[in-house]
Structure 1
Amino acid sequence: MMEQLEKDAVGTSSPPPGRLLQVKDLQVEFRLRTGVVKAVAGLSYSLDKGETLAIVGESGSGKSVAAHAVLGVLTTPPAFVTGGSVHLQGRNLLTMSETERRRLRGDELAMVAQNASLNPVFSVGWQIAELFRVHRGTPRREAMKLAAGLMDRVGIPSAAQRVDDYPHQFSGGMRQRVGIAMAMALEPAVLIADEPTTALDVTVQAQIMALLAEMQEQTGMGLILITHDLGLVSEAADRLVVMYAGRECETGSVEEVFRKPGHPYTRGLMKSIPQLDQKKARLEPIAGSMADLMSVPPGCPFHPRCPFAQARCRTDALELHQIAPGRVSSCHRIDEIWGDLND
C-alpha cells in the first residue's frame, strides 16, 4: 500500500545541510470583483545547492504565480499570499519586510522573467551596472566593465560597444539575454528562470543553459526552471514538480518520472509531445481544457479530463501518496493504476 504523506509543519528550525530553499504549503489567490481565483493551492518543494528543479504544467497551472510569490513581489491587491512559508537558507521570506526582501533580490534570490522587463529610459549597460553599484558599492567605470563582460557571456555581439544602447535598440531575443545577464550578475544563491529561453533559437538556448550549468558548478547556485518544454527538462533538470490547477500532481527525479510517470496528468503531458524515435506515432493530446481556477471542481481537479476517474475522484480531497523513495503523486487511484499508466 502506497504511503499517504502528511504535510510538514511550518517551523523555524535550521535547514538540512545544502538546503537553499524550502517552500511549504504555499497558497496564493487573486480576489477579483467576479470572484476569487485560487492560483496556488498548497504547493511544497525544496531546492538544494547546485540542484536544478523544474516546475512544469500547462499554461494556467500556477507555475509563474508560485514563482512570483517566492520572489516576494505579490504584495498588493488583488494578489494575496494566504498561507504557507518560503524559507531561503533558513529565513522565511513571507514574514520579512519589503525592505529586507529588496536587499535579498538580485543578491541571494533572482529571477529571469519570460519577457525581460527593462526600463526604456536607461541604457542596458547602466541597468546591469546599477546592480553592482547598489549591492556591491562598485565604482561606475568598473561596474560598466562588468556589465559589458556579462553581456558578452550571454552572447550579445560587440557587447563593449552596446552597453550604452537602450532596450528599444535590441531585438526581443537580445533583450531576453540582457535580462538573463541581470539575473546572473550578483551570482545569486537561487535563480528562478521562468521560460528563460522562449524567445531564443535552439543554438542560443543551448548556450544559455550551458552558461547556467557552468555558474551552478562554480557557485553552487540552485536553479528553478519553469517551463512547458519537457525536452529542456529532460536535458537540464534533476527533479521536477508537475502542477495542475495550482496544485502539485507529482514530484520526483526527472529520470524516474520520465521513465514511469505516476499521475494520469503527467502521463498525458508525456504522450502529447513529439518523440524523435517514433516518427509515425500519433500525438495524444489531453482531452478538454485546464480547470477554471475560479471554480475548481471538487475532488481531484483533473478528474473531468482523466480517463481513469471514478466516483471518489469527483468527491475526495487531494492527498499526496509516496509511490517510491523521493516520489509522490496526488492520484486517488495510484495503487490500482500504477501499472496501467505506463502500458
Structure 2
Amino acid sequence: MFILRGIILLYCIVILVVLPCYRCFSDSDSDTESGSGSSSGTLPAECPTGCSCVEPRRSTDGHRVECRPPWSINNIATINEYNNHVPITELDLRNRISTLPANVFDRLTALTTLDLRYNQISTLSANVFDRLTALTTLYLRSNNISTLPANVFDKLTALKTLDLQTNQISTLPANVFDRLTALTTLYLSSNKISTLPANVFDRLTALTRLSLSWNQISTLPANVFDRLTALTGLYLENNAITTIEPDAFSSFASSLKRLWLDGNRLLFYEDKTFEELTSLTYLQSDCSRLCCLVGDIDYCQPRCEDVHTRDCVTSRHLCPVRNDREISTEYEMYKNEKKARVDDATGSG
C-alpha cells in the first residue's frame, strides 16, 4: 500500500512540476540548436527565475509568463527589467512585490494583460506603465497603494479594465483617468475615498461598469457622473452617502440597468432622480420607498410592500420622505450651508 501511494505521489510530481518546466526549456533549446532561435515563435531560452512560460496557442499570439504557480504564491519581492525580446502578451506577477522599478516593463510593448494583484506595492512611479501602449487589462487589486500619480495611466489608451480595489487610496487626482477613453470597467471599491472630484470621470465616455463600494463617500455631486452616458452598472453600497444631489444620475438615466445603494445613510434625494431611471432592472438599497419610485423592475430590494403604507412611505430610519416637514427643513439647511461655502470660496456675497 505504501509503495503504491509513493508511485502515485511521484507521478503527480512529474505531471505538475517536471513536465511543464521541461517543455518550457527543452522546446526552446531544440529550436535554438536548429538555427531558428526565438524568431520561430518558440519560448525564450530563459524564463525569469521563479516563473513558468506558456506557449501561444496560435502563431500570432504572444507568450504568457506566470510568476505564480497555480497552487500557491511565490515569495518574489523584487523584479528587474525583463530583457528577453520574445513578445509576451500576458504577465502574472501575484507575489510579494513591494516596489516596481520605473523601467521594469519598458521592453514588454506587446503586453495586453498585467496582473499585479496581492502584492505589497505602496507607490507607483509616474512613468512605470508608459511603454505598455497595447495593455487592455491592468490588475492592481489588494496592494497598499495610497496615492496615484496624476499621469500614471496617461499612455494606456487601449486599456479596457482597470482594477484598483482593496488599496489605501483616499483621493483621486482630478485628471488621473483622462486618457483612458477606451475604458469600460473601473473598480475602485474598498479604498478610503471620501470625495469625488467634479470632473474625475469626464473622459470615460465608454465606461459601462463603475464600482465605488466600501469607501467613505458622503455626497454624490450633481455633475460627477455627467459624461458617463454608457454606464449600465453603478455600485455604491457601503459608503456613508446621505445626499444624492439633483441630476446626479441624469446622464445615464436611459442606460443604467443595475444600481447598488445599500449600506448607506440616505437622507436627501429627489424623487425624480430615481423616477428617471427608465432602463433600471435591478436596485439594491435599504429603502423600500425607492422601489416605489422606480416602478415595476425585475428586482428591487427591499420591496415596496415589505415596509408599506398606503402612500408607499417607509419608516424614517430606513429612508425619509422628502415631503416630511422636518426632513424638508433639514434639506433646506443643507442647501443653504452648501451655497454659503460656495459664496465664501468665490468671494461673492
- Give the TM-score of the pair, scaled to structure 2: 0.27
More strand by share: 1
Higher RCO (CA-CA < 8 Å; seq separation 6+): 1
